[in-house]
Amino acid sequence: MTRQLCLPVDADVRPRFTTCYLRLAGDAAMFVEAHTVHALPRLLAALTSAGADPAAVRWIVVTHAHLDHAAGAAALLAACPNATLLAHPRAAKHLIAPGALIQGATAVYGAQRFAELYGRIDPVPAERVRSLGDGEAFELGPATFTAWHTYGHAFHHLVLDDPALDTVYTGDTFGLVYPDLQAHGCFALPSTSPTGFDRAEAQKSLAKVLSLGRRFVCPTHFGAHGEPQAIAAQVGQFVDAAEGWVQEALRAAWPAAELEARFAAHWWRAIAAAAPGLGDAARELLALDVELNAQGLAWVVQSRRAAAQA
């Protein structure tokens, strides 16, 4: 029997925070997400453990160009000589010419912290990149996959449907579903990090994933989950709440200097209401995401104010 399996690879320094997926179909292999150059030894070790060779890797798929998903793409391509990178057309452009990504992240984190988080980011050779259109299919051995464009988190995001394993690889479209936060029931938080949050598109993307009818969703943060309806319902409620906070900020003319702090407070109150059993360890796990989510909503408010003035 031809083997068909997916192996999650814990790719981050922080355990159970960021997953890459090693998909095996017959003698062919594929990675979904590349994370950073720091993850490369783990990805190659997963290949070895699965009895595969880097030469067997046919595709490397990134759901979008955010650096915790795609910063290691060039390094992983260099290690897998027969692989082609698959990405949304907008994401592909950023990875072929990553200067803007590097500049933006360095401005946020500083050069030293950027290096610690993401390491070296090299351009992906254009001849080794293939853009995936909405609804475009491709094959890996006996398996067929379909990419679907899903916005609301980023304007260059796609999800990957894998009917052979009854699975959708959802990137950040289906929220953040950390295993360590599931002890008291399903807990899923959307990512509204800068700069692509759009309530209507996020809801459409949730509905698109559900319409595929798959048993499992595999978000990059983190691992496979078998409750798509419950996850979508909770993420959708948070998405609606986030848009409500944006509207509140616009009506009340919150000062720009206060936006991030006010949005972070909203996030923490909403998290406490949705999951009252979460303790200090959960707050520590979610601290970075709450900070980024607050930054993303602040950016939305500032961009809408600028558009209104224009």
Q: Are residues 79 and 145 in the same domain?
A: yes
Q: Are residues 123 and 239 in the same domain?
A: no
User: Minimal CA–CA distance to 293: which of 148, 155, 172, 159?
Assistant: 172
What's the pLDDT at 195? 87
Distance of alpha carbon 79 from alpha carbon 63, whole angstroms: 20
pLDDT at 115 over 80: yes
Q: Are residues 142 and 269 in the same domain?
A: no
Q: Are residues 14 and 149 in the same domain?
A: yes
Q: Are residues 162 and 274 in the same domain?
A: no
What's the pLDDT at 112? 86
Q: Quick one: pLDDT band at residue 1, thresholds 50, 70, 90?
A: low
Residues 143-161: tens digit of each pLDDT:
999 999 999 999 999 999 9
Q: Are residues 138 and 105 in the same domain?
A: yes
The long-range contacts involving 243-252, CB below 8 angstroms and separated by at least 24 positions, are: 243/199, 245/297, 246/297, 246/300, 246/301, 246/304, 249/297, 249/301, 250/301, 250/304, 250/305
Domain that holds residue 197: 4-175+191-224
pLDDT at 171 over 90: yes
143 found inside a domain: yes
184 found inside a domain: no
Q: Are residues 97 and 170 in the same domain?
A: yes
Burial of 7 (0-12, 13-18, 19+ CB in 10 A): middle
Residues 212-268: tens digit of each pLDDT:
999 999 999 999 999 999 999 999 999 999 999 999 999 999 999 999 999 999 999
- What would you report as the CA-atom Rg of the chain, rounded to the nearest whole angstrom? 19
Provide the domain count of the chain. Answer: 2
Between 46 and 184, residue with greater pLDDT: 46
Q: Are residues 209 and 291 in the same domain?
A: no
Residues 18-43: tens digit of each pLDDT:
999 999 999 999 999 999 999 999 99
The whole-number average pLDDT for the span 93-119 is: 85
Q: Are residues 238 and 219 in the same domain?
A: no
Q: What totals of helices (H) and strands (E) does the chain contain, helices first?
A: 10, 11
Distance of alpha carbon 233 from alpha carbon 247, whole angstroms: 21
Q: pTM of the predicted model, to two decimals?
A: 0.95
What's the pLDDT at 111? 85
The whole-number average pLDDT for the span 34-57 is: 96
15 found inside a domain: yes
Residue corresponding to tokens 């720009």: 256
- Alpha helix ranges (H) inside the chain: 40-49, 67-70, 73-79, 89-96, 99-109, 111-118, 199-211, 228-252, 259-274, 280-309
Residue corresponding to tokens 């509207």: 247
